[in-house]
Amino acid sequence: MPIQLPEDVKSILHILQDAGYEAYAVGGCIRDSLLGRTPDDWDITTSARPEETKALFEKTIDTGIQHGTVTVMRHGRGYEVTTYRVDGEYEDGRHPKEVTFTASLEEDLKRRDFTVNAMAYNEEDGLVDLFGGRQDLERKIIRCVGEANERFEEDALRIMRAVRFSAQLGFTIEERTKEAIRGHADRLRQVSAERIQMELTKLVTSPNPDFLRIAWETGITAVVLPEFDRLMEQPQNNPHHCFSVGEHTLHAMRAVRPDKCLRLAMLLHDVAKPLCLTTDEAGIDHFHGHAQKGERIAAQILKRLRYDNHTTELVSRLVKWHDAAIEPEKKAVRRAASRMGKDLFPLILEVKAADLAAQSDYRRAEKQEWLEQLRGLYEEIEREGDCLTIKDLAVNGRDLMRAGMEPGPQLGRTLQGLLEIVLEDPEKNTKEYLLSLLPKET
């Protein structure tokens, strides 16, 4: 497959080359092009120093000038142009203390993480593949450039990147690289939560979120998500289940669309099960209260991983309600949607479907039928625009005060009471009727 460089990339490469420098497109864009995928962004590597690059282009941004990176703007898009460099000594396996520029493309490619990420290309020289990256792409293998143990010692984040790329590409991790991951997983303790979070998100939103299993096998989750190891160790002796909690979780992640919050919700939906286990006289396991407890634990985990508030809140709400029992009748669906929040209900249906897909066949048809009914009822409710919140009521606090009620907390309680009545029967959502329910003034 020939690599098709975008016009803007060609022009950036030519401007650098015409000024006497070497320049190549490099890394992820070459990997993705060879795989027949459209790259998200194009990175360029060059022998030109950052100041020299800046002098050649009209519009540039100093993105990471101390690491040799200048962003060149073209038609509203940015292209990262980085000077050939060798990473200096790494401080605690975190950041290189210093980077040294080099005149050699080979040196620059050598410092990159995996063979499939260490290829460069330009139209003059074609593909520069010094470490067998192309063959590894064909064989679907993630392999470190050079000695794996050394590479993970230099930068422990590469441990998570290996699993993340394997999940994104559906590749296997080459055995020596995998062994080195096992030996170095503990070094992830030195990596910041933010960087781990970014890799975890890419892993769980990939086409193979269940490759988290590899992170477990190699000791990565023991460091970054020990709660998941407890799930893998938790059997479920219950007719609804055929997997451990952990295996069920992996299947459930795969069964939901690759949205960040939905995937994280499936990852954490049963996180409290090991803490809620009881076994009845018949030897059946139960996990009463795991959804409520899970809400709190999920929030703690997501905070620890420095997820933003929106994600943390939405995911923990999904965990809280994932197991809600809802009667397949309209007023029950209205009540549930009102309690969870309108935005949540359709997502909860997706969570429930994924949860169900990862359970045993026991009463599957029945459970699916129930979900279908809930979905149908919710659609009707949406279509009819039924009132689900206090804001949608035909009366507001001011109306109540005009009708003689005193301001204060009682006002809110009354509105909530009126909402319950309207959830039962939306026909009753008229100003006249609701006001008629208020105690008469004397």
> Long-range contact list for 82-85, CB < 8 A, 24+ apart?
82/43, 82/44, 82/45, 82/46, 83/45, 83/46, 83/47, 83/48, 83/49, 83/50, 83/53, 84/22, 84/45, 84/46, 84/47, 84/108, 85/111
- Residue 117 contacts ligand ATP per CB under 6 A: yes
What residue has token string 């420098």?
Answer: 21
Contacts with Mg ion by CB under 5 A lie at 28
- Among residues 28 and 50, whose Cβ is nearest to ligand ATP? 28
Task: Using the rule CB under 6 A, give the single segment among 53-61, 112-120, 224-232, 393-401 that binds ligand ATP.
Answer: 112-120
User: Shortest approach of ligand ATP to residue 383 CB, angstroms?
Assistant: 41
User: Shortest approach of Mg ion to residue 40 CB, angstroms?
Assistant: 6
- Residue 157 contacts ligand ATP per CB under 6 A: yes
User: Shortest approach of Mg ion to residue 198 CB, angstroms?
Assistant: 12
Alpha-carbon span 316 to 348, nearest angstrom: 12
User: Shortest approach of Mg ion to residue 41 CB, angstroms?
Assistant: 5
Residue 255: CB partners within 8 Å, gap ≥ 6? Answer: 266, 353, 354, 357, 358
- Residue 317 contacts ligand ATP per CB under 6 A: no
113 binds, among Mg ion, ligand ATP, none (CB under 5 to 8 A by kind): ligand ATP
Task: Using the rule CB under 6 A, give the single segment among 5-13, 155-163, 191-199, 432-440 that binds ligand ATP.
Answer: 155-163
- Among residues 132 and 397, whose Cβ is nearest to ligand ATP? 132
Task: Using the rule CB under 6 A, give the single segment among 113-121, 179-187, 332-340, 361-369 that binds ligand ATP.
Answer: 113-121
Task: Using the rule CB under 6 A, give the single segment among 109-117, 235-243, 257-265, 384-392 that binds ligand ATP.
Answer: 109-117
- DSSP state letter for 275: G
- Residue 46 contacts ligand ATP per CB under 6 A: no
For residue 329, give Cα distances in angstroms to 76, 98, 380, 429. 52, 65, 11, 19
Alpha-carbon span 387 to 394, nearest angstrom: 9
Instruction: Report the residue from 12, 13, 25, 43 that binds ligand ATP according to the rule CB under 6 A.
Output: 43
Instruction: For 275-348, list the strands marked E by DSSP.
Output: 278-279, 285-286
Nearest to 336 by CA among 288, 375, 369: 375
The token pair at 277 is 């286990």
Task: Using the rule CB under 6 A, give the single segment among 111-119, 213-221, 301-309, 355-363 that binds ligand ATP.
Answer: 111-119
- Residue 27 contacts ligand ATP per CB under 6 A: yes
- Residue 28 contacts ligand ATP per CB under 6 A: yes
User: Shortest approach of Mg ion to residue 184 CB, angstroms?
Assistant: 23
Instruction: Report the residue from 68, 99, 112, 212 that binds ligand ATP according to the rule CB under 6 A.
Output: 112
Alpha-carbon span 338 to 420, nearest angstrom: 9
User: Shortest approach of Mg ion to residue 71 CB, angstroms?
Assistant: 13
Cα 122–chain centre separation:
34
In one-letter notation, the amino acid at residue 154 is: E
Task: Using the rule CB under 6 A, give the single segment among 94-102, 152-160, 232-240, 375-383 that binds ligand ATP.
Answer: 152-160
- Among residues 88 and 417, whose Cβ is nearest to ligand ATP? 88
User: Shortest approach of ligand ATP to residue 168 CB, angstroms?
Assistant: 7
Alpha-helical regions (H) of 218-289:
221-224, 226-232, 245-254, 260-268
- Among residues 152 and 378, whose Cβ is nearest to ligand ATP? 152
Q: Which residues pair with 72 in a beta bridge?
A: 60, 79
Interface with ligand ATP: number of residues (CB under 6 A) = 11
- Residue 155 contacts ligand ATP per CB under 6 A: yes
Strand 172-173 with 141-142, pairing:
parallel
User: Shortest approach of ligand ATP to residue 171 CB, angstroms?
Assistant: 13
- Residue 40 contacts ligand ATP per CB under 6 A: yes
What backbone torsions phi and psi does residue 111 show, to the nearest 5 degrees?
-85, -5
- Residue 113 contacts ligand ATP per CB under 6 A: yes
Alpha-carbon span 431 to 435, nearest angstrom: 6
Q: Check if the beta carbon of residue 279 is closer than 8 Å to that of residue 285.
A: yes
Instruction: Report the residue from 158, 184, 269, 293 that binds ligand ATP according to the rule CB under 6 A.
Output: 158
Q: Check if the beta carbon of residue 384 is closer than 8 Å to that of residue 378.
A: no
Residues found near ligand ATP in the complex (CB under 6 A): 27-28, 40, 43, 112-113, 117-118, 155, 157-158
